[in-house]
Amino acid sequence: MTVPDSAGTVSGPPSGGTDPKLVAVLGALGTAAYAVDEQGRIIAVNALAEHVLARSATELVGHDAHDLLHRDAHGQPMSRARCAMRPTFLAGRPAQAEREWFARGDGSTLPVSWMTTPLDPRGLVDHERVTLVLFHSPEIVEPPSGSAERVARPLSELERLALLAETTTRLTSTLDADETVHRLVSLVVPRLADWVIVDLIRERDEVWRAVVAHAENGAVTYHEELQGPMPPVPQHSTMPLSRALRGVASTLAGPGTYQQPPDSGITAEQRRLFKATGMHSAAIVPLRSAREVLGAVTLGRSETPQPFTPADLALLEDIARRAGLALDNARLYQRQRKVAETMQRHLLPQLPQVPGLEMAARYLPAPDASQVGGDWYDAFPLSDGATALAVGDVVGHDLDAAAGMAQLRNIVRAYAWIQQEPASRIVERLDQAVMHIADVPMATMIFGRVDKTDDGQWFLSWTNAGHPPPLLVTHDGLAHYLTDGHGILLGTGTHQPRPDATAALPPGSTLLLYTDGLIEAPGHSLDEGLYRLRRHAAALVHRPLPAFTDQLLHRVRPAGNDDDVVLFTLRAPATT
């Protein structure tokens, strides 16, 4: 395996069949990359790709990239029909993906984010079409590939385009604002500058110096003593940083820019920054989104003798523009998640205290904030002394689904408290309400009652409206699904009578109600998910109920699941 040296050496095929110009293009990139022809065969690879993939160029060049590298989340070969990357080779169009998997030479499977972009082959290689694949993995630390001498060398037009492509794929593959800023740092130092400073505008127009980073001996050092709160941005100031933070213009600056008495507190901070860092040349560009100014980026040179020139500003503005859009997306995502989590916290109930019964419930939101809100649970006492249980899933995955869930829960509570009727009748009334007074397109749910007989026996009566069946596990580990009482889901408009079912809850038994996010996974059948849940539930049933619930959720929830999950558990007393 080849590891890149400080000049970013690139490996090609041992026969020397790849044009050195293409090899040089890949070598100029600061991330792992390879090039493929119109058939998807690898024709060149850089040393960073060799390092990340744990494969030499000899093992990569000439092979079909899909067959050699692409795997699913379980490490199994992926069919070409499911591959998102291969069609881009054939069509010659750009694409990107946030989380896919590549096979390494050591047999492990590596999560990667990738981006493909067509590359004009003229003057590089004798192929009709060439596609450049740039990829990054958070699990592999890529060795440094820059040097001070290389930083100062002007980038060719092809290298500039490659850097912009890399910027896009690296910054758009995360929705974490802090990670976006740190990826921006790794993109520009030491390749373009010795220093990078990121100032961000936060709530109420407060400015925060989020990053002051310096390239030292191939590594990036963060100077926390120079980071922190900044004075406000004056509207009258004509100094470079103030103008950039107002979104006015990009500017070149140096120590001489700040020799005059400062016109504001933020200008005084900039003078202190130049003195502390020793920067002799800096380029300051705004960070903008489509809606607002988010901050500013300062790139500085101290060890590199060449100053920035006006010609450099166009590239830096392109990078800052991509960084601003990525940062804005990350902020919007985090705000949406905060709203969703606040809704969940207020909408999902506290479980009641019922003498003799133990109850536990867990809710896991979807990884994507826009996919949150449809799954719900509830448990509450009824007017006749029984305890009502409900678990459901509103069709749709957004805040509208969360609002619909709240409507369903409130209607169920009202009907169940007022109408002392079988579970089927309560759900029939709910189905009518869904069609006329609730903003819910369709939903599945289980609604049941837990009662105690005069001789101390516990039993469950329930009806199922298109939901996955409850699972009952005895104290001895015998597990079976309660498949009776199954009817059609809510909201179809077909007013058919709903069935009721009843089952005893033996001493020490555990009842599980859940939503489909616990058992469904892409590429796997529902039967596989149900089998996995039953097997693990039986193995864990001897544990205390909170630990049982947590461990079951950890073991059973499928890898790569993009849905929210509810798991509700109830345990009957061990003795009657």
CATH number of 13's domain:
3.30.450.20
pLDDT digits (tens, 9 = 90+) for 84-115: 888 877 777 777 777 788 999 988 888 888 88
Do 357 and 438 fall within a single domain? yes
Q: Is residue 342 part of a domain?
A: no
Do 367 and 289 fall within a single domain? no
pLDDT digits (tens, 9 = 90+) for 29-61: 767 889 888 888 999 898 888 888 989 888 999
Hey, which bits of 204-264 come out as E strands?
A: 207-216, 219-222, 228-230, 251-253
Instruction: Give ∠ CA 39-124-42 in degrees, rounded to 5.
Output: 30
Do 318 and 358 fall within a single domain? no
Q: Is residue 312 part of a domain?
A: yes
Do 445 and 458 fall within a single domain? yes
Do 2 and 100 fall within a single domain? yes
Do 132 and 195 fall within a single domain? no
Do 167 and 310 fall within a single domain? yes
Do 550 and 412 fall within a single domain? yes
Do 137 and 202 fall within a single domain? no
Q: Is residue 278 part of a domain?
A: yes
**Residue 560 reports pLDDT greater than 80:** no
Longest Cα–Cα distance of the chain, Å, equals 91
350 vs 273 pLDDT, higher one: 273
Least confident of 86-100, 145-159, 222-236: 145-159
Domain count, the chain: 3
On average, the pLDDT of the chain sits at: 83
Which tokens belong to 159?
């290298």
**Residue 312 reports pLDDT greater than 60:** yes
Residue 264's domain comprises 147-337
2 vs 505 pLDDT, higher one: 505
**Residue 13 reports pLDDT greater than 50:** no
Decide which of 89, 114, 145 is a domain's last residue. Answer: 145
The rounded distance, in Å, linking the Cα atoms of 542 and 419 is: 37
Q: Is residue 576 part of a domain?
A: no
Do 455 and 316 fall within a single domain? no
Question: Per the omega criterion (within 30 degrees of 0), is the bond before 190 cis?
Answer: yes
Decide which of 290, 315, 337 is a domain's last residue. Answer: 337
Do 100 and 207 fall within a single domain? no
8 Å CB contact between 191 and 163: yes
What average pLDDT does this structure show over 195-211?
90
Q: Strand pairing of 458-465 and 486-487?
A: parallel
CATH number, position 253: 3.30.450.40
The rounded distance, in Å, linking the Cα atoms of 397 and 377 is: 16
Q: Is residue 434 part of a domain?
A: yes
Q: Is residue 413 part of a domain?
A: yes
286 vs 372 pLDDT, higher one: 286
The rounded distance, in Å, linking the Cα atoms of 162 and 34 is: 12
pLDDT digits (tens, 9 = 90+) for 326-373: 888 888 877 776 776 666 556 667 899 999 999 999 988 766 544 555
Q: Is residue 257 part of a domain?
A: yes
CATH number, position 493: 3.60.40.10
Decide which of 281, 302, 337 is a domain's last residue. Answer: 337
The reply to whether the predicted model has a pTM over 0.75 is no
Do 262 and 303 fall within a single domain? yes
Q: What is the pLDDT of residue 123?
A: 59
Q: Is residue 343 part of a domain?
A: no
